[in-house]
Amino acid sequence: MLDHINELPDWISRGLDDLFPNDNSGDSDQSFLKRLELSSVDKKPLRVKLGIDPTGTDIHIGHSILFRKLRAFQDAGHTAILIIGDFTARIGDPTGKSKTRIQLSKDEVQSNALNYLEQLGLGKDPKDSLLDFSIPSRIEIRRNSEWLENLNLSKVIELLSNSTVGQMLAKEDFSNRYKSGTPISLHEFLYPLLQGYDSVAINSDVELGGTDQKFNIAMGRDLQKAFGQKPQFGMLLPILVGLDGARKMSKSLDNIVGINEDSLSMYSKLEKVPDDLVLTYLNLLTNENLKELSSNPREVQKFMALKVTSNFKGIEAAKNAQFNSEKLVLGTKDSLEEIPEASVSNVNFPAKAFYLFSKMEMCSSSSEARRQILGGGVRIDGKKIMDPNLEFHTPDDLIGKILQVGKKKFLRVST
């Protein structure tokens, strides 16, 4: 399928699972290379669409694959168009037949969206974030309620008339449900058309998506043609396999690495992914040259963990995490995941070390804590602390770190 993929610049082709259409003709509606050239000749950046579902808030490294590709377009001078699906999130699924769609209030959606954008780097230096929010011509944030909220019935009918029952039932998930007799509510047929109409509304040149998005992205292309626009290209990226090495990375499967996790946690998880995922992670989550890797698999794994962590946390934090992970004296614990988490919400800051370890109930009293510290039995992230009066100013000084007393007591600090 990806015949002419090598003709594309590496920043585009890297990790790509599918590009459609993918014709090497001279037609800029059929050949992506031509569309790219046209953009360059006309000095008109490509409009690159990516949809965000604001029902969830935690971004994991699986999501980041798409944002990394979007960022690559930004860095090449093109415009990233983030579509926040606020309308569809607010509508949710009125039948309640699907458990995955939850109806959200306007405020919840707004707050989720802001949270999401902040995780992507809104307000941050672009060199420390997934997307570049600093150059106005390279980012456009749109909410689909802009054009969907007041879409009237005539327009809905026009949209619906662009597809047939047969086309919808050829879509894999609908097809399986129809064959098995599981009811498909009629409004579910509308969602691919609405997502497609987003492409019309923003006049996109490319839409990015996971491999499960082919149908919806192709629908956008069809609708753009029906509405007299130049049709978008679809760029599909793989769906990342999670830490279990088997299923797609998903919060509900508890096999994720969140981009908000602390660097030690991120590094430690990555360092232990199944061997056959290491190259995939390197390919999809870093820009490293896959031909120049060590021949020692253990070294490659550590290299991957370091580079991926570094992408999200910066090289300093990543190196620190690697160091701590290696130095961490786990005693009788086999793995980091077995360490229980505990919140510092009851601790008053600034907090001295002896008070902290007593308050967190790792020592029976303040005086016991002092004794343990002075006796050399207390560590934070594997590093011995010797001063009972060592002061922690805010929870951020501790969150994500591991408190250790003796060889058996461990706690991981959470918010």
Instruction: Tell me whether residue 225 is exposed, middle or buried, using C-beta atoms within 10 angstroms of its C-beta: 0 to 12, 13 to 18, 19 or more.
Output: middle
Nearer to its own copies, 183 or 297 (CB): 183
Find the shortest distance in angstroms from Cβ 283 to its own copies.
Answer: 39
Nearer to its own copies, 85 or 388 (CB): 85
Is residue 187 within the footprint of its own copies (CB under 8 A)?
Answer: yes
Please state, in angstroms and rounded to a whole number, the distance separating the CA atoms of residues 220 and 214: 10
Q: Are 224 and 47 in contact (CB under 8 A)?
A: no
SS3 401: coil
Q: b/e map of 124-158 (b: 16 or more CB within 10 Å)?
A: bebeebbbbbeeeebbeebbbbebbeeeeeeeeee
How far, in whole angstroms, is CA 61 from its chain's centroid? 5
Q: With CB under 8 A as the contact rule, which of the stretches 20-28, 152-160, 333-341, 371-379 interacts with its own copies? A: 152-160
- Among 135, 160, 170, 246, the residue binding its own copies under the rule CB under 8 A is 160
> Which amino acid belongs to residue 131?
L
Task: Tell me whether residue 251 is annotated as binding.
Answer: yes
Q: With CB under 8 A as the contact rule, which of the stretches 129-137, 188-196, 250-258, 302-310 interacts with its own copies? A: 188-196
Note if the bond before 274 is cis, omega within 30 degrees.
no
How are beta strands 383-384 and 391-392 bridged, if at all? unpaired
Find the shortest distance in angstroms from Cβ 168 to its own copies.
Answer: 7
- Among 6, 154, 295, 346, the residue binding its own copies under the rule CB under 8 A is 154
SS3 60: strand
- Among 80, 117, 148, 282, the residue binding its own copies under the rule CB under 8 A is 148
Is residue 156 within the footprint of its own copies (CB under 8 A)?
Answer: yes
- Among 19, 190, 219, 378, the residue binding its own copies under the rule CB under 8 A is 190
> Which amino acid belongs to residue 283?
N
Q: Ramachandran region of residue 181, left (φ > 0), alpha (ψ -120 to 50) or beta?
A: left
Find the shortest distance in angstroms from Cβ 21 to its own copies.
Answer: 23
Is residue 228 within the footprint of its own copies (CB under 8 A)?
Answer: no
Sign of CA dihedral 287, 291, 293, 298: positive
Q: Within positions 167 to 186, which residues make up the interface with its own copies, using CB under 8 A?
A: 168-169, 174, 178, 181, 183-186
Q: How many residues bind its own copies (CB under 8 A)?
A: 36
Find the shortest distance in angstroms from Cβ 165 to its own copies.
Answer: 4
Please state, in angstroms and rounded to a whole number, the distance separating the CA atoms of residues 215 and 208: 12
Is residue 20 within the footprint of its own copies (CB under 8 A)?
Answer: no
- Among 165, 246, 253, 315, the residue binding its own copies under the rule CB under 8 A is 165
How far, in whole angstroms, is CA 168 from its chain's centroid? 29
Nearer to its own copies, 136 or 166 (CB): 166
Q: With CB under 8 A as the contact rule, which of the stretches 39-47, 57-65, 149-157, 343-351 interacts with its own copies? A: 149-157
Q: Within positions 58 to 97, which residues make up the interface with its own copies, using CB under 8 A?
A: 87, 91, 93-95
Is residue 350 within the footprint of its own copies (CB under 8 A)?
Answer: no
Write a three-state SS string for 244-282: CCCCECCHHHCCCCECCCCHHHHHHHHCCCCHHHHHHHH
Please state, in angstroms and rounded to a whole number, the distance separating the CA atoms of residues 236 and 21: 11
Nearer to its own copies, 20 or 189 (CB): 189
Q: CB 187: neighbour CB atoms within 10 A?
A: 12
Is residue 108 within the footprint of its own copies (CB under 8 A)?
Answer: no
Is residue 193 within the footprint of its own copies (CB under 8 A)?
Answer: yes
Q: Which residue numbers belong to the known binding site for ATP?
A: 251
Provide the binding-site residues for its own copies, judged by CB under 8 A.
87, 91, 93-95, 148-154, 156-158, 160-166, 168-169, 174, 178, 181, 183-187, 189-190, 193-194
